[in-house]
Chain A
Amino acid sequence: MTANAPLLELRNVVPSFEETGLMPAPYNLRIMPGECAVVDCRDFERAAMFADLCSGMVSLTQGTIRFMGLDWAALRDRQLNALRGRIGRISRSSSWLNLFGTHLNIMLPHLYHTTDPFDNVVLRATELGNRFGFPGLPTSAPDRLSGADLARAACVRAFMGRPDLLVLEDISDTLPEENILPFFEMMTTARDRGCGVLWFVRSAAAWHEYRKAVNIHMRLLDEGLFPMRVV
């Protein structure tokens, strides 16, 4: 990735309608390192599909998506997976495997993509967990945790391992009030070291307190993605 190159760039992207249900209109988006783009979208599923689109998981009928200078469509499976490992993601639903405890779910991407010693990974996850209000790492299965704890765990997982891009779906309705500030702090810390943020929100209230730090504001509607003025 060259200096001053966009971190994530969607150029005239038209996703497959059959696969995504997204409007087959050209989508354009450009996030530079350290930038935060807020995408207003009231529909969770559409937001998740657009997040998948940015992660190179959707076939395109036109256009290119580049992440860290690499075109998703030109990469092979191993490269795709390695590159996706650089994305910290908060998913709103279906992202927890009940086969494992929540602690393993949190550490799974990091353990998969890196060779960091296990103890270090546990330590880092525990530290992050403490910041989000966990006394330690939750070891019970995800389906036994409350919505608030799952939201906390989702934050811990997303911020683990110094990601280069954060793709955050809106969990503001389940994230406890006392975790909002740590969430913003972690986001700012990540941005300070060059991580881009693509943040999907349902309402202005979710990012109201962070609006001064937002660089791009867009709205994802049925008709496509539209730029908005950051107020």
Chain B
Amino acid sequence: MTDTPTPAPEHVAPQADPMAGPQPDNGGRLVHLVRRFAPWLAALGRLTRHQVRFALLVIGAGWGAIRESMRPNSWRRPVIYEFRATLRQVVSGGFLSIVITATLTGLMVVSQAAYWLGYAGMAQMTGSILVSVLVREISPILVGIIIMGRSGMLSLTEIGMMVLGGEVRALQARGIDPFLALVMPRTFAFTLGGFTLGMIFAVVSLLMGFVVAHSTGAITSSVWTFFFNVLGAMTTWDYLIIPLKFVLVGFFVGLGACVSGLTVSSNDTMATIMPRGFARGIMLVLVVNILFMLDF
């Protein structure tokens, strides 16, 4: 408190600095700008939080699935049944798509590589180019996308509808853990299915490419020599990384689909579940492949 008398209110207004005049305007403009962009910023923040939440969920659920799978007690009869049913669905459902896609890819990549490398006088590089381009890089992405489309979206929809319909809660009421009964077996079925379909894809694409290239004269060696060259071009790391990529793509596609299905909210419908699940699946397939590309 000071002894200085406070000026009367009517005395204050005339003393206001002319420079102070625009200040409320600036403030108002700022508030106006904030108000204008606030919904955009809020949406951006919401999206970021949502994406981070899913990434953390996938990491946690992945660790949980691996840890639970180590316990023999987790592999109860309904869990094994679910694993078998999903594996059958993943492999038999994706088999034809994998063969057709592998044939088309083989026609394009192998025949083109054989033709252009032969044209450039670098035919001895054919094996190593095919291993690094087709088997190591393209196959896991295409296999991941096919598994996701044929089986991942199915799992996502099934589990999502079960959550919305209350069946998952009914399972819990009977003491059946949905993570053990649905997520874990499906994830590992996708993992095994990813490996199986990936190997089929690699063999079929190389074989079909060879057939076309051989028939057009771009490759003159026998099929055994061709495959010997391809295998010879593979390094020790390739023998580890290529199966690992197939396994991880299957694992994350399955896990992502199940987690997305299990975390639907009551506001969700098929129209919101499916696009979100598709985008997440594609993201997971690409992330797995990009991580390997960075490291090796």
Contacts and interface: CB of A to CB of B under 8 A. Distances in A.
B181 to A, nearest CB: 7
A13 B241 CA distance: 56
Contacts of B167: 94-97
Interface in A107-121: 108-109, 111-113, 118
Contacts of A81: 172, 175-177
Contacts of B175: 80-87, 109, 112-113
B28 interface: no
B70 interface: no
B77 interface: yes
Nearest to A121: B77
A84 B173 CA distance: 7
Select the residue from B76, B173, B176, B177 with max chain A CB neighbours within 10 A.
B173
B158 interface: yes
Given A111-B76, A112-B76, A112-B78, A97 B162 contact: yes
Contacts, number: 67
A113 B78 CA distance: 10
Interface in B52-99: 76-79, 81, 85
B150 interface: no
A82 B176 CA distance: 8
A57 B172 contact: yes
Contacts of A108: 78, 174, 176
Nearest to A113: B175
Interface in A91-107: 91, 93-97, 99, 104
A111 B173 contact: no
A51 B170 CA distance: 11
B214 interface: no
A95 B167 CA distance: 5
A55 interface: yes
A108 B76 CA distance: 10
Contacts of B166: 93-94
B170 A91 contact: yes
B165 interface: yes
Interface in A37-89: 51-52, 55, 57, 77-78, 80-87, 89
Contacts of A85: 174-175
Contacts of A87: 173-175
B83 to A, nearest CB: 13
B202 to A, nearest CB: 32
Select the residue from A51, A55, A112 with max chain B CB neighbours within 10 A.
A112
Contact of B78 (A82, A84, A89, A111): A111
Interface in B166-215: 166-167, 169-177, 181
Nearest to A118: B77
A89 B169 CA distance: 13
B81 A112 contact: no
Contacts of A57: 169, 172-173
A94 B172 CA distance: 12
Contact of A95 (B76, B81, B170, B181): B170
Nearest to B162: A97
A89 B173 contact: yes
A93 B166 CA distance: 8
A112 B172 contact: no
8 contacts: A80-B175, A81-B172, A87-B175, A96-B167, A97-B171, A104-B78, A112-B77, A112-B176
Report, nearest first, the 7 A-B pairs whose CB atoms are least far apart: A84-B175, A94-B166, A85-B175, A95-B170, A81-B175, A111-B77, A109-B174
